[in-house]
């Protein structure tokens, strides 16, 4: 037996790649033909490349600046397919779109969405086109199901210390420390305030300097320092973004500010990221602020909440925090606007920035401590129905820290900042609050039945620590509290109602494709010596070697296995394969396999027997996934006019799938 497979899907893919390559070639030819002295002297420069999160774990969004208004794209290939750093002809291309930047930024912005990534694959990419390309960067996809970790970073606010390069150094060091300690972290989530001055491109250049921002997908969040210009939107294109008027603090998406709310599902977490700059105060264009955010979050959860096990909100303005912004009137307003809705919507965790200090709240239900008995600094928390954990991240860059303020006499109501009865130095809503003037980041481990939250030091009092270098105090003992040490750690257990949730982990099918093999050793199918019957014909019987078919595709697409027999030959003596017939059957049922019809030898019906392709087994669209073992009884009948000999034929097996 020999085997051949035909996979129409594979052929189509090859055709598609070929077409892309041809178009690329045409574009290059046109570009060189029309090239001018000016364009030759001023090659297109591609800067500020940032890898952003996509709509799900199989996507990424790339955003960058270009010096020229040319057609551009992302080129992507598995890193293993690159030869000496060169992209193969089969590299995928994703066309970019974008527009002109505002005058102070200069140049143009571009973004492209990468889709159909495969899990557990290292990819290389570059952006550009027409011979002008960025350097090649790479990222790694992980398992698309199951546990993962993401990292959360507060207010890098590059430039706020007054020394952009010192701020950059601290930001770079935090990302380096965090990803070195967590190389398989899957998202870098921002708490907003990327820069001090919204449209200051030198600050943006420093913010975008760390290479980790091109290696791990970034979840961008807009802060009050980012909102005042269009540079934020030029640098961060986000998935599923609603740019309606209420999500802009001036009510004008076409104006001079940035904004928008967006969501995405990453494995078992639904993330919703909102522009908290737009809140309660009506602004030009009929801004309705927080009520619009709540409607947006409600709508996203109604439509997509079932796709995830966890719901995590991200926005900049911390409504429960311990330092300078803890008593801000707008944050007290947000508590009133948000907290009952968040409890009713089943939000698990809220990630915030703005206060340049670390805090972890008690479980908060409808704006009140859910369980009065929850102890300060508890290592394990059971938020119960409606309990939400609010986290505020300290500065990731060290550019600025805010000092913790004492509770006041405003009580423990929804707008109150009174003391915690269990820990009077702390606000009533905070389980843990911390300020050492040391850089830190938050790590969240997403597990099947818990979220594990940690606040980890990414620095000490030593440089890079711009705020401390410029004279602010620092409390940290590098012996007891070194880089990587834990400021706070808590395990948050979800509420499952009064029933019992049952979960089963289902791994990927292996190999996740349609395929077939000869089951076991593919020995000669020996029909033995034919027996003469009735003095008129010879007959021999046997069985084909069993064929194992596996179909683990999610498409549940139809498949079929057929076979045909060539001419029987012994030297120059032959007889037709049509004298071979068979009766297919299933040795093991599965994968929707139905055996093909029996085929008679041409000796019996003067037909074509197995000299033409005949179905051994097939499955229809929608069949179950699995495997089947196929067999067939072979029956050879030949007229006794065939000369004596030891004949052999080849049965060719063909698989078809779509």
CB nearer Fe ion, residue 224 or residue 460: 224
Residues 608-647 that bind Fe ion (CB under 5 A): none
Taking the complex as a whole, the smallest distance from the CB of residue 193 to Fe ion amounts, in Å, to: 4
- Distance, CA of 645 to CA of 466 (rounded, Å): 92
CA-nearest of 651, 649, 642 to 616 is: 651
**Nearest alpha carbon to residue 145 among 429, 448, 370:** 448
Residue 52: φ, ψ to 5°: -110, 165
Q: Count the neighbouring beta carbons within 10 Å of the beta carbon of residue 496.
A: 10
Segment near Fe ion (CB under 5 A); pick from 29-37, 185-193, 260-268, 296-304? 185-193
Helix axes 289-304, 329-344, angle to 10 degrees: 20
Task: Give the pair of three-digit tokens for residue 486.
Answer: 């834990």
| Surface-to-core class of residue 38, CB atoms within 10 Å of its CB (0-12 exposed, 13-18 middle, 19+ buried) | exposed
Nearer to Fe ion, 354 or 369 (CB): 354
Min. distance of Cβ 97 from Fe ion in angstroms?
A: 30
From the list 272, 278, 204, the residue with the least C-alpha distance to 241 is: 272
- Binding string, residues 452-471; x marks residues near Fe ion by CB under 5 A: --------------------
How near is the Cβ of 441 to Fe ion at its closest, in Å? 17
Nearest to 235 by CA among 448, 368, 392, 65: 65
CB 74 within 8 A of CB 214: no
Give the 3-state secondary structure of residue 574. Answer: strand
- Least distance to Fe ion from the beta carbon of 354, Å? 4
In the complex, the smallest distance separating the C-beta of residue 369 from Fe ion, rounded to whole angstroms, is 26
Cα distance between residue 615 and residue 562, in whole Å: 4
Residue 273 CB, nearest approach to Fe ion (Å): 15
Output 309 or 325, the one with its CB closest to Fe ion: 325
DSSP code at position 621: T
CA dihedral 29, 30, 31, 32 (to 10 degrees): 50
Segment 344 to 363, residues that bind Fe ion, using CB under 5 A: 354
The nearer residue to Fe ion, 204 or 310, going by C-beta atoms, is: 204
Query: Which 299-338 residues touch Fe ion, going by CB under 5 A?
Result: none
> Which of the residues 382 through 441 are near Fe ion (CB under 5 A)?
none
User: Which of 160, 199, 224, 258 is in the footprint of Fe ion by CB under 5 A?
Assistant: 224
- Least distance in Å: CB of 157 to Fe ion? 7
Distance CA 194, CA 157 (A): 5
Measured from the CB atom, the residue of 94 and 390 that comes closer to Fe ion is 390
Closest to Fe ion by CB, 66 vs 174, is 174
Report, in Å, the least distance between residue 400 CB and Fe ion.
Answer: 9
Task: Find the part of the chain contacting Fe ion (CB under 5 A) among 63-71, 193-201, 507-515, 634-642.
Answer: 193-201
Q: Total residues at the site for Fe ion (CB under 5 A)?
A: 4
Q: Are 106 and 56 in contact (CB under 8 A)?
A: no
Binding to Fe ion in span 103-132, by CB under 5 A: none
**DSSP-assigned letters across all residues of 412-435:** SSTT---EETTEEEEETTEEEEE-
214 vs 316 by CB, closer to Fe ion: 316
Write down the number of H helices and E strands in the chain.
9, 41
Shorter beta-carbon distance to Fe ion: residue 152 or 579? 152
* CA neighbours closer than 13 Å in the CB half-sphere of residue 2: 7
Measured from the CB atom, is 321 or 368 closer to Fe ion?
321
**Closer to Fe ion by Cβ: residue 163 or 330:** 330
Nearest distance from C-beta of residue 155 to Fe ion, angstroms: 6
Strands 580-588 and 594-595: unpaired
Between residues 57 and 193, which has the closer beta carbon with respect to Fe ion?
193
Question: Quick one: 223 or 609, whose CB is closer to Fe ion?
Answer: 223
Token pair belonging to 313: 């909100």
* CB closest to Fe ion, residue no: 354
98, 129, 210, 223: which one contacts Fe ion (CB under 5 A)? 223
What is the closest distance, in whole angstroms, from the C-beta atom of residue 164 to Fe ion in the complex?
Answer: 17
> Nearest CA to 274 among 257, 293, 248?
293
Q: How many CB atoms lie within 10 A of CB 453?
A: 22
The rounded Cα 421 to chain-centroid distance in angstroms is 43
In angstroms, give the least distance from the CB of 223 to Fe ion.
5
Two structure tokens written together for 35: 């090239």
Q: To the nearest whole angstrom, how small is the minimum distance from the Cβ of residue 145 to Fe ion?
A: 36
Quote the least distance from Cβ 317 to Fe ion, whole Å: 7
Whether residue 351 contacts residue 442, with contact meaning beta carbons closer than 8 Å, is answered with yes
Report d(CA 546, CA 525) in Å as an integer: 11
Residue 238 or 357: the one with the smaller Cβ distance to Fe ion is: 357
Binds Fe ion by CB under 5 A, chosen from 172, 193, 226, 333: 193
The span of 67-75, 95-103, 216-224, 496-504 binding Fe ion (CB under 5 A) equals 216-224
Piece of 170-178, 192-200, 503-511, 557-565 that binds Fe ion (CB under 5 A) = 192-200
Residues within the interface to Fe ion (CB under 5 A): 193, 223-224, 354
């Amino acid at each position: 037996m020999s085997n051949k497979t035909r996979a129409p899907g594979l052929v189509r893919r090859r055709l598609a790649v070929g077409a892309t390559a041809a178009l690329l070639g045409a574009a290059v030819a046109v570009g060189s033909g029309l090239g001018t002295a000016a364009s030759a002297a001023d090659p297109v420069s591609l800067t500020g490349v940032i890898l952003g999160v996509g709509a799900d774990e199989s996507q990424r969004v790339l955003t960058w600046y270009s010096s020229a208004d040319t057609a551009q794209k992302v080129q992507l290939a598995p890193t293993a397919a690159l030869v000496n750093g060169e992209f193969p002809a089969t590299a995928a291309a994703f066309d970019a779109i974008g527009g002109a930047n505002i005058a102070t930024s200069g140049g143009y912005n571009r973004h492209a969405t990468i889709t159909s990534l495969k899990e557990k694959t290292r990819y290389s990419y570059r952006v550009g086109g027409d011979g002008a390309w960025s350097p090649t960067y790479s990222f790694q996809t992980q398992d698309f199901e199951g546990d993962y970790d993401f990292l959360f970073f507060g207010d890098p606010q590059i430039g706020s210390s007054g020394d952009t390069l010192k701020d950059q150094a601290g930001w770079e060091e935090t990302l380096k420390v965090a990803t070195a300690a967590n190389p398989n972290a899957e998202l870098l989530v921002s708490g907003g305030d990327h820069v001090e001055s919204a449209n200051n491109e030198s600050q943006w250049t420093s913010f975008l300097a760390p290479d980790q921002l091109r290696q791990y997908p970034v979840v961008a969040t807009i802060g009050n320092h980012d909102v005042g210009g269009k540079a934020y939107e030029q640098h961060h294109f986000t998935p599923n973004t609603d740019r309606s008027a209420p999500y802009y603090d001036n009510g004008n998406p076409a104006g001079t500010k940035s904004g928008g709310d967006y969501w995405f599902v990453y494995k078992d977490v639904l993330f919703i990221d909102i522009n908290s700059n737009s809140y309660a105060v009506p602004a030009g264009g009929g801004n309705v602020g927080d009520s619009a955010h709540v409607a947006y979050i409600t709508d996203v959860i109604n439509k997509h909440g079932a796709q995830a096990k966890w719901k995590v909100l991200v926005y900049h303005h911390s409504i429960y925090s311990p330092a300078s912004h803890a008593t801000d009137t707008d944050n007290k307003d947000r508590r009133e606007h948000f907290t009952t809705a968040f409890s009713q919507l089943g939000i698990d965790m809220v990630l915030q920035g703005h206060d340049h200090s670390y805090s972890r709240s008690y479980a908060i239900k409808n704006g009140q401590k859910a369980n009065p008995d929850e102890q300060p600094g508890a290592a394990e928390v059971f938020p119960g129905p409606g309990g939400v954990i609010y986290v505020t991240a300290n500065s990731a860059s060290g550019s600025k820290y805010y000092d913790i303020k004492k509770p006041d006499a405003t009580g423990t109501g929804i707008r109150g900042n009174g003391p915690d009865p269990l820990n009077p130095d702390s606000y009533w809503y905070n389980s843990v609050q911390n300020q050492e003037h040391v850089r830190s980041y938050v790590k969240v481990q997403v597990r099947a039945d818990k979220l594990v939250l940690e606040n980890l030091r990414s620095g000490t009092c030593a440089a890079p620590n711009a705020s401390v270098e410029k004279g602010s105090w620092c409390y940290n003992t590098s012996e007891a509290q070194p880089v990587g040490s834990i400021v706070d750690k808590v395990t948050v257990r979800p509420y499952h109602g009064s029933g019992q949730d049952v979960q089963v982990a289902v791994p990927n099918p292996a190999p996740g494709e349609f395929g077939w093999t000869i089951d076991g050793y593919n020995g000669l199918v020996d029909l033995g010596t034919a027996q003469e019957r009735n003095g008129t014909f010879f007959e021999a019987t046997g069985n084909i070697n069993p064929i194992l078919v596996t179909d683990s595709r999610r498409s549940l697409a139809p498949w079929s296995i057929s076979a045909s027999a060539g001419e029987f030959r012994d030297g120059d003596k032959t007889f037709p394969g049509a004298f071979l017939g068979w009766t297919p059957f299933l040795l093991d049922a599965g994968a929707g396999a139905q055996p093909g019809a029996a085929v008679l030898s041409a000796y019996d019906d003067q037909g074509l027997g197995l000299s033409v392709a005949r179905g051994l087994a097939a499955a229809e669209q929608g069949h179950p996934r699995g495997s089947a073992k196929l067999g067939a009884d072979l029956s050879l009948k030949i007229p006794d006019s065939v000369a004596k000999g030891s004949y052999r034929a080849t049965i060719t097996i063909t698989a078809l799938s779509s």
